[in-house]
Chain A
Amino acid sequence: MVSKAEPETGVRMTTDPHDSEITVLAAANGLTIPSEFRAGVRTNLELLRSYGALIEGLELPDRLEPAFRYEP
């Protein structure tokens, strides 16, 4: 699926839109994900996105603060 590489950016261009998306997202974080890792990464990303949809499906008050620190 890899059609060409652009060595000056490290971003690989692909013809598969999902693969392209992973390439772009990874590059934004300084990552290059080899083709042999892609299927596993995509499966996990899809799972995480399904959880993301659940999280965003709950309307929360604007003034509810995030609980980064644990305070029982």
Chain B
Amino acid sequence: MRLHTLPVHRLGELMERKEFSSEELVRNYLEHISRVEDEIKALVTVTEEAALAQARAVDEKRARGEEISPLAGIPMAITDNICTEGVKTTCASRMLYNFVPPYDADAAARLKRAGAVLMGKCSMDEFSIGPAEEKSGFFSARNPFAPEAAPGGPSGGAAAVAAGEAAFTLGSDTAGSLRRPAAFCGVIGFKPTYGRVSRYGLISYASSLDQIGPFTRDMTDLALVLNIICGRDAKDSTSAAVAVPDFNKSLINDVKGLKIGLPKEYLAGAEPGVAARVREAAGKLEELGAVCEEVSMPHTAYALPAHYIISSAEASSNLARYDGVRYGLRVDAGDVLGMFSKTRSRGFGEEVKTLIMLGTYVLGAANYNDYYVKALQARTLVRQDFDRAFEKFDCLITPASPAIAHRKGKETADPLAARLSKTCSVPVNLAGVPALSLPFGMVEGLPVGLQFITRHFGEEILLRVGYTLQQNTDQTRLKPGLAC
């Protein structure tokens, strides 16, 4: 049986029926990883022995007839900027090449408690900011749909799910790192409302924008994972004290009467093939009883520069702690100033350094009002665009990315060019609203992702719309061409 392509809920059923044990499942995945990993490069660390031990523990529990969670015994992987106790967590940076956290991120701890089996840590962009520098021993994942195409953004997490190296993964999203890679790799990526999932243990890039979320193979799996990872955490001040619904109940195959907005600014900037798929999906939803209408979100164009400024400002501060004193890399020098500067120069890659200096610039006393405050004002305007849209619409449909995955080399090392491809994703982070990235067919042999956005803590509507599309089309389940 090709276990590594089955969704979580199917694997759970099969284990419940004793078709195979969790240990067998994990061995199956480990074998598959050893087959494809060289090509996919989705995992920077594979925790083979711990995974087998965890799987056996779940099997024993099941044998004793104890009640277990739907994720028990399921192979998962976690992106390398989310702390895992006793397992190296590097942010794909030479700066943290040897950092072993003494604690679990809250989301990781919840998944462990639910019995999900950690297979390893996923590769990513350095600190989610710029390409992992291969010379420092880290690497970028490849797209299982076309190894020559970049997976887009920091995401072994999406590639691992698409390539069958994990049944689901956990990643983070500051500028679209859950949604764009999902779109490029033909899997589901979900950015919950800011505050829905605890950020405790997520290594900060830009605190006001970062949010943990999952990559999954289908909508049912998404609901299962969200049920575990969402909820208030007393260790994180930004974690919201908002009741978490049972997301399984949001899997409703019905969109009749739902009002869905198509923001024209998002479509105008998209490649024609991508825009066509979005319109097609909207057409399908109308067919199924939803009402789709164009809407204008006039400040969309300003989201990207505002996001650039805010994320650089916060990153320059969040990355200040890497100084060679308490953890990670240290490059020795005769005095503290020299030690700090040498350590940071060697520890960070080029794009990270650029962003830190940009952040230092926009926060500088001379530029503060022109850049930082201005960006916060733009953030307010972007958010107001959403508020107005949600007065009328239940959710919005946009492309998850204006373009399909670039063939290798096209998404260049030019930091600005890389940013410009994030026009559809960053407004969501600025507003803190939730968004679903759902595969919907292909263009030129590469997957296209839809993005559904709704109001704060309105995740249920996204699950309902995504589930309905999944049940009524064959466009949401894409199989990579690679031998995965």
Co-complex (A, B): no
A-side interface residues toward B, CB under 8 Å?
none
B-side interface residues toward A, CB under 8 Å?
none
